[in-house]
């Protein structure tokens, strides 16, 4: 079992290049199911989640060649299965993104239900209700959702909460449906826009991307395209916060600063010096102690839930008291207990964490419970005095490309070590 050993207290200096966005790559991989022919995707991040998704597509009969330079060549002409097995969906919830494209292209899909998750219940009822409104017949059997439709038809669909993958699934399905689909209270995340832009390149008629009303006029056929995955705003935000946790000065390159507007406003309020350079780089500098700021997670363009755990590290060593409220997922405070092991003063009350900044954290062994919690613990290790051993690093590898190497290159004392599997009981 891999762990990360971090010797804290070293300031960071240098440049980190951001990889393609995991949460854009997954739906874009899924969109290749919608058209026959050769797709070329570049800037595909080398991540465990991407490997699992590629494995799922191969199960369905899709040919995928991954080249050295983060390029994927994909051809779904030989698509010959409509089933996403439990074994793969269990390992990654985003596998549900094949549901819409499979029903739209093949007229049927059998996709395992994802089940529970470390950060919340995360149901997929919006995906299912949307497909039903589009004329699909759905049945739940033996843990699978089975969907059938000779041809989906356009519908008016309202999301009770703007769901990212829900919007993506239904937008993809609507591209091959007959007639007009209107998605209301749709997600506005840059990853949804990136998928929509790819679908438009493929010939889809889509309006309203980046707003809460997306209108799609379906067509019979789409064509394969070349597509570059947008930079990962959550990875970029995580490294901005790494500079905040460790101190020093970093340049984050290959990012889209606009996607980080709200995050940068919070970090500036917390006392970090931030400067946008050349439209795709941000320079971040920390001198002295940070200010406490309150944070509330919201759908985009609000503060992202995927950076909540990381900003908590900054608040854990900031000057005063901060209230961090999580409104998206009901159980996304698993990192709190681990941060407390490092000496953080945090109390959870319902959906808020009350964080009283301490002068410094102290290194200890900690256990990562999910992807973003693991990034938070790495940042905490950078900020802490002494040695922090982060266990459960497989979570990190799902969504951060070579995080340990990227941090080591800018001066962090971090290394991957093998540890005997030990059960705390």
124 scored as a contact of ligand EPU (CB under 6 A):
yes
Interface with ligand EPU, residue 115, by CB under 6 A: no
Least Å distance, CB 356 to ligand EPU, is: 27
Regarding 130 and contact with ligand EPU (CB under 6 A), the answer is no
Report 265-304 residues binding ligand EPU (CB under 6 A). Answer: none
Min separation Cβ 191 and ligand EPU, Å: 6
Of 102-110, 133-141, 160-168, 279-287, the segment contacting ligand EPU by CB under 6 A is 160-168
Structure tokens at 166: 């829900």
- Of 121-129, 250-258, 281-289, 412-420, the window that binds ligand EPU (rule: CB under 6 A) is 121-129
Query: Does residue 403 interact with ligand EPU by CB under 6 A?
Result: no
The total number of residues written for the chain in this structure: 425
Pairing of strands 12-17, 352-356: unpaired
**Which of the ranges 159-167, 176-184, 389-397, 413-421 carries the binding residues for ligand EPU, by CB under 6 A?**
159-167
Sole binder of ligand EPU in the list 110, 127, 188, 406 (CB under 6 A): 127
The reply to whether 117 belongs to the active site is yes
Distance of alpha carbon 330 from alpha carbon 198, whole angstroms: 32
Nearer CB in complex with ligand EPU: 177/187: 187
DSSP 36-96: -SEEEEES----HHHHHHHHHHHHTT-EEEE-TTS-EEEE-TT----EE-HHHHHH-GGGG
Query: CB within 8 A of 156, min separation 6: which ones?
Result: 133, 181, 182, 184
End-to-end CA distance of the chain: 17
Q: How far is the CB of 369 from ligand EPU (least distance, A)?
A: 12
Strand partners, 172: none
Q: How is the beta sheet containing 63-66 ordered, strand by strand?
A: 63-66, 72-75, 38-42, 226-228
Binder to ligand EPU among 47, 270, 307, 371 (CB under 6 A)? 371
Q: Which of 3, 6, 26, 183 binds ligand EPU (CB under 6 A)?
A: 26
**Going by C-beta distance under 8 Å and a sequence separation of 6 or more, which residues neighbour residue 265?**
none
Minimum CB distance to ligand EPU smaller for 30 or for 292: 30
Tell me which residues are annotated as active site: 117
């Amino acid at each position: 079992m891999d762990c990360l050993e971090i010797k804290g207290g070293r300031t960071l200096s240098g440049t980190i290049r951001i990889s393609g966005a995991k949460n854009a790559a997954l739906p874009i991989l899924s969109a290749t199911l919608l058209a026959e022919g050769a797709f070329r995707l570049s800037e595909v991040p080398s991540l465990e989640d991407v490997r699992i998704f590629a494995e799922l597509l191969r199960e369905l009969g899709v040919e995928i060649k991954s080249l050295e330079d983060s390029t994927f060549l994909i051809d779904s002409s030989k698509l010959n299965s409509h089933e996403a097995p439990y074994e793969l969906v269990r390992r990654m919830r985003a596998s549900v993104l094949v549901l819409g494209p499979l029903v739209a292209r093949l007229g049927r899909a059998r996709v395992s239900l994802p089940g529970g998750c470390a950060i919340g219940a995360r149901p997929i009822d919006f995906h299912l209700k949307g497909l039903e409104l589009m004329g699909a017949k759905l049945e739940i059997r033996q843990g699978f959702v089975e969907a059938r439709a000779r041809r989906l038809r356009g519908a008016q669909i309202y999301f009770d909460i703007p769901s990212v993958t829900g919007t993506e699934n239904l937008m993809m399905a609507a591209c091959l449906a007959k007639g007009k689909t209107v998605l209301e209270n749709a997600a506005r995340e840059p990853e949804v826009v990136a998928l929509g832009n790819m679908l438009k390149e493929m010939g889809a008629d889509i309006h309203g991307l980046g707003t809460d009303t997306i209108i799609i006029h379906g067509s019979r056929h789409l064509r394969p395209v070349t597509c570059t995955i947008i930079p990962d705003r959550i990875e970029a935000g995580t490294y901005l916060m790494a500079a905040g946790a460790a101190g020093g000065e970093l340049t984050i390159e290959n990012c889209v600063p606009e996607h980080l507007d709200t995050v940068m406003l919070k970090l500036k309020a917390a006392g970090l010096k931030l400067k946008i350079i050349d439209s795709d780089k941000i320079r971040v500098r920390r001198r002295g102690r940070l200010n406490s700021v309150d944070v509330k997670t919201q759908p985009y363009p609000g503060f992202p839930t995927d950076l909540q755990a990381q900003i908590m590290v900054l608040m854990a060593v900031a000057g005063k008291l901060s209230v961090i409220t999580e409104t998206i997922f009901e159980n996304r405070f698993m990192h709190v207990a681990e941060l407390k092991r490092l000496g953080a003063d945090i109390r959870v009350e319902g959906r808020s964490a009350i964080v009283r900044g301490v002068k410094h954290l102290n290194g200890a062994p900690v256990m990562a419970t999910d992807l973003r919690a693991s990034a938070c613990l790495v940042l905490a290790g950078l900020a802490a005095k002494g040695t922090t051993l982060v266990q459960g690093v497989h979570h990190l590898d799902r969504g951060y490309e070579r995080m340990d190497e990227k941090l080591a290159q800018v001066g962090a004392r971090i290394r991957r070590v093998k540890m005997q599997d030990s059960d705390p009981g």
